[in-house]
C-alpha cells in the first residue's frame, strides 16, 4: 500500500451511532463518533449514510454536524414523527433519532432506491467508511461499489463472536460470518485496531476460505476526559471494573473473589462495577441484584465520563479479567490516569501496554486474591505494579494519520 491523494468525498456510515440515542456510548460507538468528529474538520467533502425506518438517509456536512451535536448532547433530539412509529422495535429515543436523521438529510430513499440516491449525490472516487459493524449489508456495499472508482474500507474490531460463540446472543455467529463474507467480497481495505486483531482476522478468513482484503493496523485513540473536579471519591481502598456486564468480561471471577474477601475480612475493600448490563449473563445479574446497597460490591451503570474518570483515578487498581478483548480501552485509560492495572494475560494488552499491567490468568482466582489484598493493605502505596509514569496512550491523530493516507 502506498500514500494516495485524498478521495473526492468520504461517506461515513453513521447507522450505529444514531442507534445509540438515549444510551451512553461504549467502545465501538466512541470510535464511530471519533471518525465523525474528525472528518468534519477536514476539507474533503464528507457525507453520512444511515439506515432509517423508511429506507436510507444521506446527510451532508451540515447534517452530520447536526447529528454530532445531538450525539454530544449539545442539541436535543426532536419529537418523533408518524413514520418513526413504524419502527416498533425502536425505543422512544431511537424513534426521535430516526426522525431527526430524516430531518437532517440532504436526500432520502426507500430500501430499493439506495443505488440511485448515492449515484445522484456522490462524486466518482468516493471513499466509503464503515467502522461500526452496522449496515454492512449486500445492498449497501453493492450500491457503493456501483459508484465509479469507489473505495470501501471497513474496520473489524475483533472476531470474538467466532472465537467465543458460547457467549453470544442467538444468531450472532451466523450474522458475523455472513458479514465477514460480504467484507471479503466487497471491501478494498480492512482497518484493524491492533496487530492481534489483524492476525485474528487473517486466521479467521483463511480458515473459512474468505478472500482477505488488504489490511492496516491503527491503534484506537484515547479521548481521556478530565476527572470531575468536585467528584466525591469513596473512602478507604477500592477497586474498579469498567465495561459492559457480559460473560466474556468475566465478572463472575470478581464476584467470587469478593465473596472470599468478605469471609476473610470484616471490612473488605470496595469493588465498583461500572457498566451497563449486557446479555446472556443472568447468573451474574442475579448475584448483583442480591447485593446489599451498602455492601462491598456496588454496581454503577450510569456514571458520566468525568465521574468515571475520577473514580478510576482514585482506585487502587482497575481490574480487567476478560476472556477476550479486541482492544480493551478501560486498561489503557486507567494507565493514562496513572492507575495500576491488573488484567488478563491477553496479547492485545501486551501489545498496547507493555509491562505496565500485572498480567494474571482469568481462570485462576488465587493470584487475583493475593494481588488485590496486597494493594488493599498497602496504606496508599502501590507495590509490585509496573511503572506507568509518563505513559502516553495512543492518539486519534496517529490513528487518522495512518488510516486517511490509505482511504
Q: Which of 115, 128, 136 is nearest to 184 (CA)?
A: 136
> What are φ and ψ of residue 262, in 5° steps?
-65, -30
Does one domain contain both 247 and 316? yes
- On whether the CB atoms of residues 340 and 374 are closer than 8 A, the answer is no
> Is 204 a member of any domain?
yes
pLDDT at 5: 85
Does one domain contain both 145 and 14? yes
Distances, alpha carbon 92 to alpha carbons 18, 74, 108, in Å: 13, 19, 22
Please identify which residue in the block is written with the cell numbers 496517529.
398
Question: Tens digits of per-residue pLDDT, 362-401?
Answer: 999 999 999 999 999 876 555 445 556 678 899 999 999 9
Does one domain contain both 194 and 284? no
Rounded CA separation 310/150 (Å): 45
> Is 321 a member of any domain?
yes
Rounded CA separation 360/149 (Å): 49
> Is 184 a member of any domain?
yes
Does one domain contain both 201 and 332? no
- Number of domains the chain is built from: 2
Rounded CA separation 42/7 (Å): 12
Name the β-bridge partners of 341.
Answer: 318
Does one domain contain both 175 and 281? no
> Is 130 a member of any domain?
yes
> Is 118 a member of any domain?
yes
- On whether the CB atoms of residues 103 and 62 are closer than 8 A, the answer is no
Does one domain contain both 174 and 250? no
Does one domain contain both 300 and 182? no
CATH label of the domain that carries residue 324: 3.40.50.2000
- On whether the CB atoms of residues 193 and 157 are closer than 8 A, the answer is yes
The gap between the terminal CA atoms of the chain, to the nearest Å, is 11
Please identify which residue in the block is written with the cell numbers 483463511.
206
Residue 249: CA count within 13 A, CB half-sphere: 24
Does one domain contain both 347 and 371? yes
Does one domain contain both 17 and 93? yes
CATH label of the domain that carries residue 206: 3.40.50
Which DSSP helix (H) or strand (E) runs through 363? Answer: none
> Is 232 a member of any domain?
no
> Is 158 a member of any domain?
yes
pLDDT at 1: 43
Does one domain contain both 304 and 197? no
pLDDT at 387: 54
- On whether the CB atoms of residues 331 and 341 are closer than 8 A, the answer is yes
Q: How much is the pTM? A: 0.93
Rounded CA separation 171/179 (Å): 12
Mean pLDDT by runs of 10 across the 407 residues of the chain is 78 96 90 98 97 96 98 94 88 95 96 96 97 96 96 97 90 95 97 96 96 97 83 86 95 96 85 92 94 92 91 96 94 94 96 96 96 85 57 94 94
Per-position b or e across 383-397, b if 16+ CB within 10 A of its CB: eebbebeeeebbebe
Does one domain contain both 249 and 206? no
Distances, alpha carbon 5 to alpha carbons 87, 203, 347, 398, in Å: 41, 31, 35, 18
> Is 389 a member of any domain?
no
Does one domain contain both 13 and 84? yes
Sheet-wide strand order for 9-13: 107-109, 55-59, 46-52, 9-13, 126-130, 151-156, 189-192, 214-217
pLDDT at 389: 64
**Triad 362, 223, 299: Cα angle to 5°:** 45
Domain interval for residue 108:
9-222+396-403
Amino acid at each position: 500500500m502506498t500514500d494516495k491523494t485524498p478521495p473526492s468525498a468520504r461517506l461515513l456510515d453513521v447507522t450505529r451511532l444514531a442507534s445509540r440515542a438515549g444510551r451512553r456510548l461504549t467502545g465501538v460507538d466512541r470510535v464511530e463518533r471519533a471518525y465523525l468528529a474528525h472528518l468534519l474538520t477536514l476539507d474533503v467533502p464528507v457525507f453520512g449514510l444511515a439506515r432509517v425506518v423508511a429506507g436510507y438517509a444521506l446527510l451532508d456536512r451540515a447534517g452530520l454536524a447536526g447529528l454530532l451535536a445531538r450525539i454530544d448532547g449539545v442539541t436535543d433530539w426532536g419529537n418523533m414523527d408518524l413514520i418513526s412509529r413504524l419502527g416498533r422495535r425502536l425505543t422512544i429515543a431511537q424513534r426521535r433519532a430516526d426522525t431527526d436523521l430524516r430531518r437532517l438529510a440532504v436526500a432520502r430513499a426507500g430500501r430499493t432506491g439506495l443505488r440511485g440516491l448515492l449515484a445522484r449525490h456522490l462524486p466518482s472516487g468516493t471513499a466509503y467508511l464503515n467502522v461500526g459493524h452496522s449496515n454492512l449489508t449486500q445492498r449497501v456495499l453493492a450500491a457503493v461499489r456501483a459508484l465509479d472508482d469507489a473505495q470501501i474500507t471497513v474496520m473489524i474490531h475483533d472476531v470474538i463472536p467466532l472465537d467465543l460463540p458460547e457467549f453470544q446472543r442467538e444468531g450472532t455467529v451466523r450474522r458475523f460470518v455472513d458479514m465477514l463474507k460480504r467484507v471479503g467480497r466487497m471491501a478494498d481495505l480492512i482497518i484493524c485496531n491492533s496487530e492481534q486483531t489483524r492476525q485474528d482476522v487473517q486466521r479467521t478468513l483463511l480458515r473459512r476460505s474468505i478472500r482477505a482484503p488488504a489490511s492496516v493496523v491503527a491503534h484506537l485513540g484515547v479521548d481521556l476526559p478530565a476527572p470531575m473536579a468536585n467528584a466525591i471519591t469513596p473512602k478507604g481502598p477500592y477497586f474498579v471494573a469498567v465495561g459492559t456486564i457480559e460473560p466474556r468480561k468475566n465478572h463472575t471471577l470478581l464476584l467470587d473473589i469478593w465473596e472470599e474477601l468478605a469471609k476473610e475480612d470484616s471490612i473488605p475493600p470496595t469493588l465498583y462495577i461500572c457498566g451497563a448490563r449486557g446479555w446472556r449473563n443472568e447468573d451474574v445479574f442475579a448475584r448483583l441484584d442480591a447485593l446489599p446497597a451498602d455492601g462491598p460490591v456496588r454496581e454503577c451503570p450510569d456514571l458520566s465520563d468525568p465521574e468515571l474518570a475520577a473514580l478510576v483515578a482514585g482506585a487502587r487498581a482497575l481490574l480487567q479479567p476478560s476472556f477476550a478483548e479486541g482492544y480493551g480501552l478501560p486498561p489503557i485509560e486507567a494507565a493514562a490516569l496513572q492507575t495500576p492495572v491488573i488484567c488478563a494475560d491477553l496479547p492485545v494488552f501486551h501489545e498496547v501496554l507493555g509491562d505496565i499491567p500485572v498480567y494474571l490468568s482469568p481462570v485462576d482466582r488465587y493470584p487475583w486474591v493475593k494481588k488485590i489484598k496486597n494493594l488493599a493493605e498497602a496504606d496508599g502505596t502501590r507495590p509490585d505494579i509496573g511503572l506507568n509514569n509518563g505513559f502516553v496512550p495512543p492518539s486519534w491523530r496517529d490513528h487518522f494519520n495512518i488510516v486517511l493516507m490509505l482511504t
